[in-house]
Amino acid sequence: MIHARKPNLVLIPGFMCDEDLWREQIGALSPFAHCFVPNLKGAENLEDIAQRVLRSVDGNFASPAFLSAAS
C-alpha cells in the first residue's frame, strides 16, 4: 500500500505488460511523485483492474493514460 506524502502516480501497464513498461518514466518522475505499478496478473477485465488499483492506493492519485492498439 502506498501513502500520500508526495503525490501518488499510479502507472497502469495494461494487458500483457508489467512494470518494465514504465521503468524509464519511474526513474524520471520519482523525485516528484510516488510512482506505483499495481500487479495486474490475473486481471480479467477493466472492473477487476480498477478494483486492484483502488485497493492499492491510500488517498488521491493520478494515472496517465496508456493506450495501445493492435494492427
| Tens of pLDDT, residues 6-16 | 899 999 887 66
* CA dihedral sign, ordered 32, 28, 23, 65: positive
Which residue range(s) make up the domain with 23?
A: 15-56
What pLDDT does residue 15 have? 65
- pLDDT tens digit sequence for 22-71: 899 999 999 999 999 988 888 888 898 889 889 888 888 998 876 665 54
Q: What is the pTM of this model?
A: 0.73
Q: Is residue 39 part of a domain?
A: yes
Q: Transcribe 31-62 into DSSP letters.
A: TTSEEE----TT--SHHHHHHHHHHHB-S--B
Cα diameter, the chain: 41
Tell me, yes or no, whether 37 lies in a domain.
yes
Instruction: Provide the domain count of the chain.
Output: 1
Residue 70: its pLDDT value, please? 54
> How far is residue 40's CA from residue 50's CA, in Å, rounded to a whole number?
10
